[in-house]
């Protein structure tokens, strides 16, 4: 008898071990081939930990740490010589580190926020000044010390017309203000300013009710960089003029508050808004110019050039310029990222290494995520890193290397090849950035590649050098910079003209409603895998990429939108037309409602929507979805409506909307969306075909800055209970008044 017949289980076990070993060997061979790409996933793992915190909050800390520990233990259980074991251990540690970093940053930096409107006089020192000339405002960040019920720092808008004397950072002032909690998203998927304020340490925002009064001038400016930026911005705007000065100031020092809203919208729709944010383009122009200038001047000194490495000294000088420029422009995340990349490139050039690579970009992303983990959720971080990664990957491809390789040919052909390269790069960047823009802004410019062919060279080689030369010439002697300012103004005028021409072209802007978060995340990660890896197995990531892209493009459009204050109702009808309940809705409200609804057409009044019956107090209409007629009643005035009439109208409706509290007797068949509900849910998005309602609270109630968190709702309920008890308390009689001692 054979041994195999006597011990069949032993042979089967050995066969299984051989299969497992072979399977691990295949995985190890693949990882060995991709070893150069593995360090690129360090910021990805950090970002995953940060993303878990953004999506679920701190409530999942125990489950996340337990999962990371379990994955790490699996790595320790494998052979320590396996690369897979080290990936499991290090990856789980990085995910936990990312979650811990943003948790600690939120606990350390998060600002105490007021829970209700507050009116009174505040005394404090100005910590920062922002000129918002486009709206006729000055925006002050005032440190009030966190005394009493107020947070440590508040942000106040002051009318420029009310300003007698200009105040600077460090000045102590007194001003009567009306403060509000930092506003959250008005609609599901909207911009959350409360999140930005939380990490910036701002606990309230509001406006001045009276002109500020100076208490004490600062011995020295509290924020010298901010003051220098404001003075430089004012100098640029005065030299360039009212039409082109605001954009010229934004291009050089990042001061965007004075830009006319129509110009800003045209730049966004034409795909040129990146010019207004000081980032890689601007830092590259400044650092490149300083490097070339320093190297050229030092080369003219024979004694120095023969004894010292000129590129090394020029690189050191350019590094100082990069740091100075970053601080001057406010040290925002894109600028910090660009500065870090510039310093690394200068170091590589000085050492004779490759100047630009994905590893360098990964190092920059890791640096930003460790110190500014909250930046991951913002569009600025995602757009800037995605754009640079696209450029690096594209220029490393064999096709582009062949296209840009030096060859003997006529000057015209070289110019044509350069133009083709600009167009290809622009198209690639637009393709990669489109999902990010659609996720955050619900719209994306389609002709940005064509517009940037002219805008980027014009900005880099004409406008910014002309502005720098103008500043330098005026510093030598006042008025000498006039020719350079004239040239810069003409260049900026050309950019404004291009922006308006492109944005007004048919089909210039693509709109998309709110997409699933999982689809957006899967798209980004899958695209990164395809870009980072080199073997044929990377194309497997195209399967989830295509599935996520399909989910993004097929995201349903909401049928109705209601803002969190209940004031603005938008109805989408006839397959893509927008009607608003209030005809006097402002431009801001119309913009956010149109973008969230993915409708580019001008909104009409609900009174003009076919089938709507309206009067000054309310509108009634019917929406037909999936064979069902939904009867809607929307109240829009503050006038008293007889209770019997209102109750009867509510019973006939499926949904009732109101910005105020409705009485108990108002009972619609499906939903009563009044102030009592909106205080718990925030803005609403209705999908009638699925009978589904998305709320703002679902997205951010787990965050500490949300006004819909359990703690904030409990405080609101306690305050309302005290107010109700005070109203029911009997008035004090004369004999009940306390007698003076």
Is residue 82 in a domain?
yes
CA distances from 293 to 244, 289, 317, 327, 352 (A): 28, 6, 10, 21, 20
The answer for 241, left when phi > 0, alpha when psi is -120 to 50, beta otherwise, is left
- With cut-offs at 50, 70 and 90, classify the pLDDT of residue 14: very low
Say what the pLDDT of residue 466 is.
87
Read off the pLDDT of each residue in 651-659 and give the average, rounded to a whole number: 93
Of the residues 689, 717, 736, the one at which a domain ends: 689
Q: What is the SS3 assignment for 75-98?
A: HHHCCCCCHHHHHHHHHHHHHHHH
Q: What is the SS3 assignment for 131-195?
A: EEHHHCEEEEEEECCCCCCCCCEEEEEEEHHHCCCCCCCCCEEEEEEEEECCCCCCCCCCCCHHH
- With cut-offs at 50, 70 and 90, classify the pLDDT of residue 27: confident
Residues 6+ apart with CB under 8 A from 652: 631, 633
Is residue 5 in a domain?
no
Same-domain status, 105 and 123: no
- Do residues 568 and 562 lie in contact, with contact meaning Cβ atoms separated by under 8 Å? yes
- With cut-offs at 50, 70 and 90, classify the pLDDT of residue 11: very low
For residue 128, the cross-strand partners are: 141
How confident is the prediction for the chain on average, in pLDDT?
Answer: 83
CA distances from 66 to 53, 54, 60, 69 (A): 15, 18, 10, 5
| 325 pLDDT higher than 70 | yes
Say what the pLDDT of residue 589 is.
85
Say what the pLDDT of residue 90 is.
93
Name which of 104-108, 305-309, 361-365, 498-502 the model is least confident about.
Answer: 305-309
Say what the pLDDT of residue 672 is.
93
For residue 605, the cross-strand partners are: 580
Say what the pLDDT of residue 633 is.
94
Say what the pLDDT of residue 351 is.
67
Say what the pLDDT of residue 731 is.
58
Same-domain status, 571 and 676: yes
Is residue 65 in a domain?
yes
Of the residues 194, 229, 264, the one at which a domain ends: 229
Is residue 656 in a domain?
yes
Is residue 211 in a domain?
yes
- With cut-offs at 50, 70 and 90, classify the pLDDT of residue 179: very high
Is residue 598 in a domain?
yes
Same-domain status, 191 and 208: yes
How many domains does one find in the chain? 4
Same-domain status, 568 and 548: no
| 44 pLDDT higher than 70 | yes
Residue with tokens 């690579």: 357
Same-domain status, 125 and 222: yes
Structural domain including 546 reads: 517-553
- Do residues 116 and 203 lie in contact, with contact meaning Cβ atoms separated by under 8 Å? no
**What b-and-e string marks burial along 124-137, b requiring 16 or more CB atoms within 10 Å of the CB?**
bbbbbbbbbbbeeb
Same-domain status, 165 and 125: yes
With a pLDDT cut of 70, the percent of the chain lying above it is: 91
Say what the pLDDT of residue 304 is.
79
| 62 pLDDT higher than 90 | yes
Same-domain status, 614 and 675: yes
Which CATH number is 188's domain given? 2.40.50.140
The span from the CA of 554 to the CA of 512, in Å, is: 9
Same-domain status, 524 and 639: no
Residues 6+ apart with CB under 8 A from 602: none
Say what the pLDDT of residue 571 is.
93
Is residue 661 in a domain?
yes
Say what the pLDDT of residue 404 is.
72
Say what the pLDDT of residue 165 is.
56
Same-domain status, 575 and 529: no
Of the residues 109, 131, 151, the one at which a domain ends: 109
Name which of 163-172, 380-389, 545-554 the model is least confident about.
Answer: 163-172
Same-domain status, 603 and 654: yes
Is residue 458 in a domain?
no
Read off the pLDDT of each residue in 17-32 and give the average, rounded to a whole number: 67
The span from the CA of 279 to the CA of 265, in Å, is: 19
**pLDDT, tens only, 410-426:** 777 778 877 787 788 87
Q: Is 127 helix (H, G, I), strand (E, B) or coil?
A: strand
- Do residues 162 and 185 lie in contact, with contact meaning Cβ atoms separated by under 8 Å? no
| 238 pLDDT higher than 90 | no
Same-domain status, 78 and 150: no
With a pLDDT cut of 90, the percent of the chain lying above it is: 22
Say what the pLDDT of residue 373 is.
92
Name which of 210-224, 307-321, 480-494, 583-597 the model is least confident about.
Answer: 210-224
Same-domain status, 76 and 122: no
Say what the pLDDT of residue 242 is.
80
Q: Output the pTM of the full model.
A: 0.83
**pLDDT, tens only, 359-386:** 888 888 898 899 989 989 888 888 888 8
Say what the pLDDT of residue 563 is.
93
């Amino acid at each position: 008898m054979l041994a195999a017949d006597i011990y069949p289980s032993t042979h089967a076990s050995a066969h299984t071990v051989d299969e497992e070993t072979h399977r691990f060997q295949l995985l190890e061979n693949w990882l060995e081939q991709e070893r150069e790409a593995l360090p690129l996933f360090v910021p990805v793992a950090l970002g995953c930990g940060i993303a878990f915190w953004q999506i679920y909050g701190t409530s999942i800390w125990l489950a996340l740490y337990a999962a990371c520990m379990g994955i790490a233990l699996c790595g320790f259980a494998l052979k320590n010589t396996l690369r897979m074991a080290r990936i499991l251990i290090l990856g789980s540690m990085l995910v936990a580190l990312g979650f811990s970093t943003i948790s600690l940053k939120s606990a350390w930096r998060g600002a105490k926020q007021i829970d209700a409107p507050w009116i009174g006089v505040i005394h404090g020192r100005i910590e920062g000044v922002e000129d918002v000339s486009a709206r006729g405002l000055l925006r002050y960040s005032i440190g009030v010390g966190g005394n009493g019920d107020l947070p440590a720092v508040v942000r106040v808008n002051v009318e420029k017309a009310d300003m007698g004397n200009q105040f600077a950072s460090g000045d102590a002032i007194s001003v009567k203000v009306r403060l509000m909690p930092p506003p959250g998203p008005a609609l599901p998927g909207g911009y959350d300013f409360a999140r930005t304020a939380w990490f910036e340490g701002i606990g309230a925002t509001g406006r001045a009710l009276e002109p500020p009064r100076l208490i004490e001038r600062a011995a020295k400016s509290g924020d010298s960089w901010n003051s220098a930026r404001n003075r430089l911005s004012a100098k640029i705007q005065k030299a360039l003029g009212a039409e082109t000065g605001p954009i010229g100031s934004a291009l050089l020092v990042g001061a965007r508050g004075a830009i006319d809203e129509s110009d800003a919208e045209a730049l966004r729709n034409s795909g040129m808004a990146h010019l207004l944010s000081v980032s890689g383009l601007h830092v590259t122009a400044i650092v490149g110019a300083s490097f070339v200038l320093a190297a050229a001047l030092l080369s003219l000194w024979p004694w120095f050039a023969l004894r010292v490495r000129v590129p090394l000294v020029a690189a050191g000088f350019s590094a100082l310029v990069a740091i100075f420029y970053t601080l001057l422009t406010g040290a925002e995340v894109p600028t910090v990222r660009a500065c870090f990349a510039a310093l690394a490139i200068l170091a590589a050039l000085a050492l004779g290494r490759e100047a630009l690579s994905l590893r360098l970009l990964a190092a920059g992303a890791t640096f930003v995520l460790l110190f500014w983990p909250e930046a991951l959720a913002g569009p600025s971080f995602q757009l800037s890193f995605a754009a640079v990664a696209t450029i690096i990957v594209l220029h490393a491809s064999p096709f582009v290397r062949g296209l840009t390789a030096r060859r003997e040919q006529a000057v015209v052909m070289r110019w044509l090849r350069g133009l083709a390269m600009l167009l290809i790069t622009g198209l690639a960047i637009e393709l990669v950035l489109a999902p990010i823009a659609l996720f955050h802004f619900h719209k994306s410019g389609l002709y940005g590649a064509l517009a940037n062919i002219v805008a980027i060279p014009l900005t880099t080689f004409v406008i910014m050098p002309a502005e720098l030369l103008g500043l330098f010439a005026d510093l030598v002697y006042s008025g000498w910079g006039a020719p350079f300012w004239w040239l810069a103004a003409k260049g900026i005028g050309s950019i404004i003209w291009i922006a308006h021409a492109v944005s007004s072209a048919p089909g210039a802007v693509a709109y998309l409603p709110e997409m699933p978060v999982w689809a957006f995340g899967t798209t980004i990660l899958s695209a990164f895998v395809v870009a980072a890896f080199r073997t044929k197995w990377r194309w497997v990531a195209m399967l989830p990429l295509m599935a996520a892209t399909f989910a993004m493009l097929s995201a349903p459009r909401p049928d109705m939108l209601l803002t969190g204050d209940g004031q603005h109702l938008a109805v989408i009808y006839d397959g893509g037309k927008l009607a608003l309940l209030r005809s006097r809705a402002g431009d801001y409200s119309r913009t956010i409602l149109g973008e969230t609804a993915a409708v580019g057409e001008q909104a009409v009044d609900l009174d003009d929507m076919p089938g709507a019956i309206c009067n000054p107090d309310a509108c009634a209409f019917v929406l037909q979805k999936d064979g069902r007629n939904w009867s809607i009643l929307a109240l829009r005035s503050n006038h008293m409506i007889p209770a019997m009439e209102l109750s009867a109208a509510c019973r006939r409706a499926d949904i009732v909307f109101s910005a105020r509290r409705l009485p108990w007797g108002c009972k619609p068949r499906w939903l009563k969306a009044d102030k009592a509900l909106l205080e718990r849910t925030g803005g609403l998005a209705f999908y009638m075909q699925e009978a589904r309602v998305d709320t703002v609270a679902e997205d951010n109630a787990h965050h500490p800055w949300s006004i819909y968190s359990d703690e904030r709702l409990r405080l609101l309920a306690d305050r309302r209970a005290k107010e109700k008890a005070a109203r029911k308390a009997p008035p004090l009689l004369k004999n009940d008044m306390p007698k003076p001692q």
